[in-house]
């Protein structure tokens, strides 16, 4: 059902890493996901992917469209625009792996089938013989779901406007990744998970839903990319 849509999107998304050198050793950690919006190297991601880490010595870098393509070296990410109120980040990289997504800015209705994507649970190891990082187990993940509600969500200690809720939640590491429909057209970007507890006679049941910012509300940010 989603096979064609995934093939359309899979070469446009990538993991975002943070790196620094400490005591002569390179440190690399995965922070979230991003997706290209044009062929000039501009991409969208979530603001908190880049600005929630208290250690400001970390530098965000691009290493390619894993696991399919990797860069020969770390490519520094340039910040173009960032807005914490909408949890959006516009960045740019200089790389040859720049397949842009298709985008739809039209309103989307409840009940629409969509797919969450991104790079959760990455495994980063160091080559014991040659050094350097092994990234073969940094894999893409796809979560089919549906839109179940549209509202202003209080998430990450602030009100986030112009979002919709999905039946399934994005996993850690999927923040900043695109949410797309059955045609592989992007309609939003994952930014958070809503944790709700429903009172039950025998205790409490927790429901986790995904929070996706509508692409239509980010049109002004996308226009900055030219």
Its sign, for the CA torsion 137, 69, 223, 181, is: negative
Cα 183 to chain center, whole Å?
19
The larger pLDDT score, comparing residue 6 to residue 160, is at: 6
What's the CA gap between 35 and 214, in Å, rounded? Answer: 15
Q: Which domain holds residue 158?
A: 3-223
Among candidates 131, 145, 225, 137, which has minimal Cα distance to 182?
145
Chain centre to alpha carbon of residue 59:
17
Q: What DSSP line would sit under 78-132, residue for residue? A: EEEEEETTTTEEEEE---S--PPPEE--S---TT-EEEEEE--S-EEEE-TTT-S
Q: How far apart are CA 110 and CA 209, in angstroms?
A: 14
Distance CA(61)–CA(46), nearest Å, equals: 15
Number of compact structural domains in the chain: 1
> H or E segment at 9?
helix 3-9
Give the model's confidence band at 47: pLDDT under 50 very low, under 70 low, under 90 confident, else very high: very high
User: What CATH number does the domain containing 64 carry?
Assistant: 2.40.10.120
Look up residue 3 and give its two tokens.
């096979």
Residues in the chain: 226
Confidence of residue 5 (pLDDT cuts 50, 70, 90): very high
Note the maximum CA span of the chain: 58
Token pair 């839903």 is found at 209
**Backbone angles phi and psi of 136, in degrees to 5:** -65, -25
135 DSSP β-pair partners: none
Residue 82: count of CB within 10 angstroms of its CB: 18
Q: What is the mean pLDDT of residues 28-55?
A: 93
**Residue-wise pLDDT tens digits, 129-183:** 566 677 778 899 999 999 999 876 555 555 667 899 999 999 999 999 999 999 9
Over the stretch 84-140, which tens digit does the pLDDT of each residue have? 989 999 999 998 778 999 999 998 999 999 999 999 987 776 665 566 677 778 899
**Vertex 201, ends 196 and 203: CA angle to 5°?**
50
Give 10's contacts (C-beta < 8 A, 6+ positions apart).
65, 68, 140
**Averaged pLDDT of the chain:** 88
C-alpha to C-alpha distance for 134 and 131, rounded to whole angstroms:
9
């Amino acid at each position: 059902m989603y096979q064609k849509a995934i093939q359309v999107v899979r070469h446009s998304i990538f993991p975002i890493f943070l790196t620094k050198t400490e005591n002569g050793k390179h440190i690399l950690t995965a922070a979230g996901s991003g997706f290209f919006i044009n062929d000039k190297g501009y991409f969208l991601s979530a603001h908190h992917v880049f600005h929630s880490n208290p250690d400001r010595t970390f530098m965000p870098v691009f290493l390619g469209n894993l696991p399919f393509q990797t860069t020969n070296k770390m490519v520094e990410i340039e910040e173009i625009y960032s807005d914490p109120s909408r949890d959006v980040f516009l960045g740019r990289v200089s790389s040859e792996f720049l397949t842009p997504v298709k985008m739809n800015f039209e309103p989307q209705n409840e009940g629409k089938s969509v797919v969450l994507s991104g790079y959760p649970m990455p495994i980063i190891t160091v080559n014991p013989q040659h050094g350097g990082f092994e990234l073969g187990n940094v894999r893409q993940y796809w979560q089919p779901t549906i839109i179940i509600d549209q509202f202003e969500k209080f998430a990450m200690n602030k009100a986030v406007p112009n979002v919709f809720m999905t039946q399934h939640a994005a996993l850690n590491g999927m923040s900043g990744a695109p949410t797309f429909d059955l045609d592989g057209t992007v309609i939003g970007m994952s930014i958070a998970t809503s944790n709700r507890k429903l009172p039950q006679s025998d205790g409490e049941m927790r429901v986790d839903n995904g929070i996706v910012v509508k692409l239509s509300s980010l049109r002004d940010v996308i226009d900055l990319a030219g």
